[in-house]
Amino acid sequence: MNDVQEVTSPATSLTGPATCVTKVELRVSCKALLDRDTLNKSDPCVVLMVQNNGQWVELDRTEVIKSNLHPVFGKVFCLDYYFEEVQKLRFEVYDIHGTHSIGTRDDDFLGGMECTLGQIVAQKKMVKPLLLKYGKYAGKSTITVGFSLCVYIGTFLFLLLQDLFSKSDPFLEIFRINDDGTEQLVHRTEVIKNNLNPVWEPFKVSLMSLCSCNEERKYDAVKISLWRFCLKESFFSSSQLHRVYSFLDYIMGGCQIHFTVAIDFTASNGDPRNSCSLHYINPYQPNEYLKALIAVGEICQDYDSDKRFSALGFGARIPPNYEVSHDFAINFNPDDDECEGIQGVVEAYQNCLPKIQLYGPTNVSPIINRLAKVAAGDGNIKDASRYHILLILTDGVVTDMADTREAIVRASYQPLSIIIVGVGNADFTDMQILDGDDGVLRSPKGEPVLRDIVQFVPFRDFKTVSVFSPSVTCSLSIHFSTSWHLTALKQLNRIFFLMQYPQLV
């Protein structure tokens, strides 16, 4: 008998290395559309546009529904979701005339809505008013965009076949059958010598590469209808399913991201009044501190429901006594260090500079300890539904390296990730120690981190913000999937999973 198991152990696949991409589905409906037709009701169609290099390009469109002002479209938009990118979408609704629906120039525009894919993912179901040209409301018209994962039973499959061969030295090949009938090799196992009952090492094959998330697709190479086979209860009797969690599982489970930025105000940055200073405020373009802050913050803000972000500073003398502080609110409100949106953080930063004296040294452990304490409190909440991201912007190597290593090891037990961005032209070689890419980071006493929570990036290595942002934030989704509070979210994810696929209950 064939066993189908889902596994989580690593393996090599012909589909290439893992990337920070997930396939998602969007479903669209509208209510109270404008009635443009004289004799009949409007015949609506929704056109999905994506922004590419600043230009709006049509990606796909729904079917046309005749004479309906409250359409629920059957068309499903399938998109690649990248956590590390701001993916701008525009939904345009048209009243289609005639039998040809190729263009929309001669059709009546019923309204449009712009958003990001991240906003839809975070809200799960987005309801927005439709706007006409120049921002005018299209009456009471609204559009609803629902989101779901393009996943059915699990993310990866492991096939165990026994008593299938008449020769020794067997190996298994899995092919995808394309629409034109051609075969595409997806995975090849290792060869097991002299064994008529082979059990191969577990391997990973993504559903996207295997069947494009289509559970009805059949594969003659293994002589089974893969998904129908999976759903038979008898095949689970001697197997164990292990759900492979992703970043989107956390979002669907109700997890919220809380974003905190910590800014280096040490004297090595230079006098902010001097144009050579890293803190110089140029009225025509942002400095490197602002560029890094905006690049990371704009991505994280989609997953924070209240859009309020903590903004901290270190290494400066602050009013009223002008004592050195390595952990202060840049809005100078110790009871509420949060700002309204990324723009609020930018304004607080600009207003802070004239009021402080840049000093030193570059100590970051106090802020890491502070965030770890806050994250520990959130981690004790029953559903563990908040994850913290700390963005540290600094122009040099930290002075308190031993204390920082100790703080990171302690923080690795909490729902927290740390992004450190090196600003300016300093030698950041020693900062790579904190990243842990060359080995496991350890405290001065030799205790290893529970999981990798730090990503260090020198800003100068990236010529544009569009390249910098994905390189930094892609690792965050990996931090999520290895977070200690994975177990606490399993029940939440199970609820959402069964809501999506009640036929599996």
User: Do the domain assignments include residue 120?
Assistant: yes
Which whole-number Å values give the CA distances from 334 to 126, 293, 373, 388, in the listed order? 35, 21, 16, 19
Q: Are residues 271 and 126 in the same domain?
A: no
From residue 132, alpha-carbon distances to 18, 139, 171, 306, 338 in Å are: 41, 9, 60, 28, 35
Average pLDDT estimate for 147-173: 51
pLDDT digits (tens, 9 = 90+) for 220-260: 333 222 222 333 333 333 333 345 566 677 677 777 889 99
CATH code of residue 94 = 2.60.40.150
Q: Which residues pair with 256 in a beta bridge?
A: 386
Q: What mean pLDDT, rounded, does the chain reach?
A: 77
Task: Say if residue 273's pLDDT is above 90.
Answer: yes
- Considering the domain architecture, whether residues 253 and 137 belong to the same structural domain is answered as no
Identify whether 297 is part of a domain: yes
- Locate 407 and state its tokens: 């703080």
Q: How far apart are CA 258 and CA 416, in angstroms?
A: 9
Contact, 118 vs 83, CB < 8 A? yes
pTM: 0.67
Query: Do 136 and 273 belong to one domain?
Result: no
Look at residue 102 in the predicted model and tell me its pLDDT. 53
Question: CA 367 to CA 313: how far, in whole Å?
Answer: 9
The structure tokens listed for 172 are: 């298994």
Count the Cβ atoms, other than its own, within 10 Å of residue 109.
17
Per-residue CA distances from 60 to 79, 165, 204, 217 (Å): 10, 46, 31, 23
Q: What is the three-class DSSP state of 401?
A: helix
Tell me the residue range of the domain where 52 lies. Answer: 22-149
pLDDT in tens, 444-457: 999 999 888 898 88
C-alpha 363/C-alpha 9 separation (Å) is 39
> Do 337 and 454 sit in the same domain of this protein?
yes
Q: Does the pLDDT value for residue 9 go beyond 50?
A: no
42-56, 166-180, 222-236, 372-386, range with greatest mean pLDDT: 42-56
Among 202, 182, 198, 150, residue whose Cα is nearest residue 26: 150
Whether 228 maps to a domain, the answer reads no
| Predicted confidence band of residue 148 (pLDDT cuts 50, 70, 90) | confident
* Within a domain: 242: no
Q: Provide, rounded to the nearest whole percent, the portion of the chain with pLDDT above 70.
A: 66
Final residue before a domain boundary, out of 116, 149, 182: 149
128 and 256 both lie in a single domain: no
> Within 13 Å and on the Cβ side, how many CA atoms surround 443?
14
Of the candidate ranges 11-15, 55-59, 268-272, the one whose mean pLDDT is the lowest: 11-15
pLDDT band at 2 (very low <50, low <70, confident <90, very high): very low
Spatial neighbors of 59 by CB under 8 A, at least 6 apart, are 48, 49, 50, 77, 79
- Mean pLDDT of the region 43-57: 94
Q: Cα–Cα distance between 370 and 350 in angstroms, integer?
A: 24
211 or 417, which is more confident?
417
- Secondary structure (3-state) at 394: strand
Do 427 and 295 share a structural domain? yes
Average pLDDT for residues 192-199, to the nearest whole number? 70
Instruction: Assess if residue 158 is contained within a domain.
Output: no
Nearest to 231 by CA among 150, 148, 149, 154: 154
The answer, yes or no, to whether residue 91 has pLDDT greater than 90, is yes
Q: Which of 146-155, 367-376, 464-473 has the lowest mean pLDDT?
A: 464-473
Instruction: Indicate the residue type of 185.
Output: L
Under the banding of pLDDT at 50, 70 and 90, the label for residue 460 is confident
pLDDT band at 316 (very low <50, low <70, confident <90, very high): very high
Co-location of 253 and 140 in the same domain:
no
Instruction: Give the residue carrying structure tokens 């546009």.
Output: 49
Q: What is the pLDDT of residue 505?
A: 37
* CATH number, residue 482: 3.40.50.410
The last residue of one of the domains, among 108, 130, 149, is: 149
Q: Does a structural domain hold residue 91?
A: yes
pLDDT score of 490 more than 70:
no
Q: Are residues 414 and 269 in the same domain?
A: yes
Grade residue 465 by pLDDT with cuts at 50, 70 and 90. Answer: low
- Rounded to 5°, the CA angle 494-500-505 comes to 65
Q: Which two tokens stand for residue 354?
A: 């004239």
Residues 267 and 133 in one domain: no
Report how far apart, in Å, the C-alpha atoms of 12 and of each of 22, 155, 201, 247 are: 19, 15, 10, 22
The pLDDT assigned to 240 comes to 38
What confidence category does residue 265 fall into, taking pLDDT thresholds of 50, 70 and 90?
Answer: very high
Q: What is the pLDDT of residue 478?
A: 54
Higher pLDDT, 358 or 225: 358
Same domain? For 261 and 122 the reply is no
Q: What mean pLDDT comes out for the span 391-408? A: 96
- Residue 494 pLDDT exceeds 80: no
**Residue at 502 is within a domain:** no
Average pLDDT for 58-71: 95
In a domain, 493, yes or no: no
136 and 280 together in one domain: no
Q: How many domains does the chain have?
A: 2
